[in-house]
Structure 1
Amino acid sequence: MILIWLAATALMTAAPGASTQSSPAEAAAPSAAAQALAAFDPLIGKTWRGASLNAADTIDEVRFERILNGRAIRSTHSVNGGVYAGETLITWDPAQNRLVSFYATNGGFYTTGTIAVRGPGTFEFDQVAHGLPDLPGVRATTTFENGVYSIRSRHLIKGEWVDTGGFDYRVVE
């Protein structure tokens, strides 16, 4: 997995007499990127464990952390001690004006897509699967309420969106 984070800087010049300083309100206002990434704050720095809604013996552990000086979120997860595992990188795409993600797995496939923030800990993921010809798309909705982080997923199977289950997670550390 290769992720290249390009950063650009620009020198700004002002016309004579024009101010280049922003007002205190502008300086204090968080960017759209910072606001979107802040929605992950209830999940950050914790390990969450949950059982599959479809099979109680399928246990997933996921951990969220801020990386790249706070400009991205990484989540790693492991099902049943690594039988299946993956890592997600989430960052802001200024061209799309939204969060984007890249998910790599030990199952030999990956996904790319977008994330819509619906509230603290609450998101809608819309992903394109790569390397799984029979599964071109994945959609997931996550919620965070009363200390429970829940995910519900749907897969695009033969042109139809099919509910495929999910997990309800609680903090383990």
Structure 2
Amino acid sequence: MTYFKALFLVLCLYTISSYASDTPTNLDKELAVFKPYLGTWQADFKVPEGAKPVQDVGRWERALNGKAIHTKHSINEGEYGGESMIFYDSKKESLVFYYFTTAGFYTKGTMKVLSPTQFVAYEDVTGSQDGITKVKSMSELKDDTFIVSTSYLKKGEWTKPEQRIYTRSTKTVKFK
């Protein structure tokens, strides 16, 4: 009887591992550097004492048969959020992306990979009610954390960089 239980367990494990390996995770070579970013992340923003907590939950997913990466995020379970598509533009020979928000503005940008763990993104903003016209962010994957430092060109002046540290999460991105 023990033999049959062991055989059953081996068959179950084989079936599960076969299914997992059939789940596509491959990305086009220009996007392969982003494979470690796939999954869900969360950051708790630094806020002044007594201020309302701010939490950002983001998810990176393989899209379009590995030809793109789809990201989505929500702050405080849908108070604000956005979605983007990152892809390689062969004519521009560059990584490009579009980011659409629940606040009604969108951005178009380019990304430059600096190393296997770092990239920088430059965005042109359309429709911001806050006077933001450009965004620059530096991202680094370090010790299973995702560190993002962002500056905004607002009313003609660059803001001081804001840093957020994301860690792996089991939360879900929510929109209202």
Instruction: Please classify the TM superposition score into its range, dividing by the shorter chain length.
Output: 0.7 to 0.9
In 1, the alpha carbon distance for the partners of 2:150 and 2:41 equals 17
Contact kept? 1:75, 1:89, Cα under 8 Å: yes
Instruction: Pick from 144, 148, 170 the counterpart of residue 147 of structure 1.
Output: 144
Instruction: Pick from 99, 104, 119 the counterpart of residue 100 of structure 2.
Output: 104
Contact kept? 1:63, 1:75, Cα under 8 Å: yes
Contact kept? 2:67, 2:87, Cα under 8 Å: yes
Q: CA deviation at 1:140?
A: 0.7
- Quick one: which amino acid aligns to residue 78 of structure 1? S
Deviations, residues 14-40 of structure 1 (Å, cap 9, x unaligned): xxxxxxxxxxxxxxxxxxx93330111
Name the TM-score, length of structure 2 as normaliser: 0.74
In 2, the alpha carbon distance for the partners of 1:75 and 1:119 equals 21
Q: CA deviation at 1:159?
A: 2.0
In 2, the alpha carbon distance for the partners of 1:82 and 1:139 equals 24
Q: List structure 1 runs of 4+ shifted beyond 6 angstroms.
A: none
Q: How many residues align?
A: 140
Structure 2 counterpart of 1:41 = 35
Name the TM-score, length of structure 1 as normaliser: 0.75
Contact kept? 1:127, 1:137, Cα under 8 Å: yes
Tell me the SS of whatever aligns to 1:39.
Answer: helix
Unpaired runs of 5+ residues, structure 1, are: 1-32
More helix by share: 2
Instruction: Give the greater-gyration-radius structure (CA).
Output: 2
Q: CA deviation at 1:164?
A: 4.4
